[in-house]
Amino acid sequence: MFLLILFLFSLLPFLGRSYDISDEGKLRSILFKDYVTGALPTARTSDPVHIGVKLYLKTVYNLDTKNQKLSSKVHILASWKDNSLKWNETLYSGLNRLLIPLSDIWKPDIVLINLMEDKMMFESKGEVLLDSKGIVSWSAYLNLDTFCRIDTTFYPFDEQTCDIVFSKQYTSDPYQYLWHNDSNNITEGYVSNGEWNIKDIQRLNNTKHIDLGTFTDIIFRVDMERKTKYYYWIYVVPMISLATVDVLTFCLPVKSQEKLNICLFVFLSLVYLVTTVNQSMPSTSDDISKFGTLLWCFILISGLIILINILIITMVHRKWAKFISKISKGSQKKNTNEDDPSLGNKKGNIDIDITENAPSIQSPTCGDISETVSPQDVDIQTECLDNKGTTSSTITKRDPVNQNTKVREKKSETKEIKEKWHFVATIIDFICFFVFPFAFFASYWILLGKCIP
């Protein structure tokens, strides 16, 4: 019994506010009897309709850097006063609110001017909440794809600013005036994104004067900061690792042809990295990515390292290097003979003595010489006199000891040339090992040292 009495007392507040369904139908018929949906809902035509707009950012799906498109989910609330839709709630059993189809009432001329697809903000199939004072409240959750200009200067370690702009299409400020309802927390209920942090959301007004009149835009400016940890590991770490490997090729032996193979691998890897970065950036010439410029600097330095390693390997393995050394050595001997003429005369005397002291064989005919002397052991100097019918031949025997000495001298000379060029290549390797790390680091610091962690 006690519980029944308690239950009846709990229903008393609702019994005082109850209304008959017939009251709602009667109210609707009275409100829309002479209502004109195309007329401004103001008491005087000279008074503008004040339209308040409030926006809550629920989440950022994606910021497409290449297509410059912000995909987001927002909660938009718009409110205005319709003086033709007011009533005294006491006459209708305390009825103070109605749900009205949006197609049955006047709708403000509001558009999202940077929307990237054709979508009406106020669709006819929606509903609005109408109170007894004539305040119309419209609420909707929308998935928006809006244009956002991307600044690629510090991509992918960047901050971007995207606007969601509300404006009017035909009606100027004297008839409809937009204003933003201040909200303490625009990001209330926001679900964080894995790539972007929301730094701030500003509410701005922008007044523009055109031929149709004065129009005031409401701008919700979203400042976002990219989370860099992911890009740090997929871009910066591989780039620095490749540069380090490129420099370490100068630590390999100068005769090793693996130096060139490693350099080509690094070069192609950097080219692939540049291609990957370019595919995610917009095709625009307004801003030049410093990170892309840094990658191209690394590619140029890597190409220079390839050329230097080709030169080093050529010094050690190719014959033209030996030929240059012989020319250089021959020039030195020629300069020495020109400085001391007695050396040339002494050489001539030695050749004459060898010829005069060598045993000779005189033969009446040139054919007899070939029968008695082997061509492998002698040098034959023949002079045939046709007018006398006789032949005089001088045969000089070769010195095998002198020939072996020349072979040893040639091998020694070749070995000396190789050692000299090997030393030059080693010096170049040593210098490049210190120069190119500085070149890589200087490029990194000048372009991105202050923005990459």
SS3 126: coil
Q: DSSP 3-state assignment of 216?
A: strand
**pLDDT at position 89:** 86
Q: Are the beta carbons of 191 and 253 closer than 8 angstroms?
A: no
Task: Name the residue among 304, 306, 255, 263 with its Cα closest to residue 425.
Answer: 255
| Topology (CATH level 3) of domain 230-319+431-448 | Methane Monooxygenase Hydroxylase; Chain G, domain 1 (1.20.58)
- Taken in order 384, 385, 391, 394, the sign of the CA dihedral is negative
**pLDDT the model gives residue 421:** 72
Nearest to 295 by CA among 156, 410, 163, 186: 156
| Contact in structure between 218 and 180 (CB atoms under 8 Å) | yes
Amino acid 208: pLDDT: 82
Q: How far apart are CA 182 and CA 161, in angstroms?
A: 20
How far is the C-alpha of 219 from the C-alpha of 225, rounded, in Å? 19
- For residue 124 the two structure tokens come to 């006819």
Find tokens 């370490």 and name the residue: 248
pTM over 0.85: no
Confidence (pLDDT) at 131: 92
Residue 269: what pLDDT?
94
Phi/psi of residue 228, nearest 5 degrees: -95, -10
The per-residue pLDDT for 35 is 86
**pLDDT value of position 401:** 60
Report residue 120: phi and psi, to 5°: -80, 140
pLDDT of residue 338: 52
CATH of 20-227, one of 3.30.1330.30, 3.20.20.80, 3.30.1330.60, 2.70.170.10: 2.70.170.10
* pLDDT value for 332: 53
Cα dihedral sign, 408-413-417-423: positive
d(CA 382, CA 384): 6
What string of pLDDT tens digits covers the 453 residues of the chain?
Answer: 544 454 444 544 444 444 456 778 888 888 888 888 888 887 776 778 888 888 899 999 999 988 899 999 999 999 999 988 999 888 888 888 999 998 888 888 888 888 888 766 776 678 899 999 999 999 989 999 999 999 988 888 889 999 999 888 777 777 777 777 666 677 788 888 889 999 988 888 888 887 777 888 889 999 999 998 888 899 989 999 999 999 999 988 888 878 889 999 999 999 999 999 888 888 776 788 888 899 999 999 999 999 998 888 887 766 555 555 555 555 555 555 555 555 444 444 444 343 444 444 444 444 444 444 444 444 444 444 444 444 444 444 455 666 667 666 666 666 666 677 778 878 888 898 899 999 999 888 888 766 655
203: helix, strand or coil: strand
Q: Locate CATH 1.20.58 in the chain.
A: 230-319+431-448
Task: Decide the pairing of beta strands 49-64 and 176-180.
Answer: parallel
Q: Which two tokens stand for residue 266?
A: 């690094």
**Which residues touch 90 (CB under 8 Å, ≥6 apart)?**
none
Tokens of 35: 């209502």
Rounded CA-CA distance 194/227 in Å is: 8
DSSP tag of 234: I
How many other CB atoms are found less than 10 A from the CB of residue 406?
9
- The residue among 315, 317, 318, 313 whose CA lies nearest residue 258 is 313
**Could you tell me where in the chain the CATH 2.70.170.10 domains are found?**
20-227
pLDDT at residue 60 in the model? 93
CA distance 80 to 51: 5
Q: What does the block give as tokens for 427?
A: 């010096």
Strand partners, 57: 74
